[in-house]
Amino acid sequence: MDAKAPGRPDRVRELAMLLVAASPYAIRYSSENRMYILVIDLVLVGYVALHRALDRPTLGRLVAVAAVVAALLYTNYWCIYLLVVVGLITLWRSE
C-alpha cells in the first residue's frame, strides 16, 4: 500500500484509531477534557473579538467581547486569571 495515495486506507492509522477507541484511559479522560477544547475555542474567538473591538469599538463588538468573557467564566473558573492578565495588558498598552 502506498501511504501517499489519497483514498487508500493506511494500516498504521487504522491500528492507532482502534487502540485509542478501545483504550479505557482514552475514553475516561476524553470526557474530562471536553471543557478545555471549549476554552481553547472561546479564547480564539475572544482574541478576534477583542482585536476587532479595540480596532473600532462599537456596541455590537463590545457585546461580543462581554459574551465571550461570560462564556469563559461559565466554562472554567480558572479563566479568571487569563482575563485579568488580558485586562492588565490591554490597560498597559492603552497608555
Q: Give the 3-state DSSP-derived string for the chain, with helices as H, strands as E and coil as C.
A: CCCCCCCCCCHHHHHHHHHHHHCHHHHHHHHHCHHHHHHHHHHHHHHHHHHHHHHCCCHHHHHHHHHHHHHHHHHCCCHHHHHHHHHHHHHHHHC
pLDDT digits (tens, 9 = 90+) for 22-51: 888 887 887 777 778 899 999 999 999 999
Single pTM value for the model:
0.66
Write down the mean pLDDT value for the chain.
Answer: 87
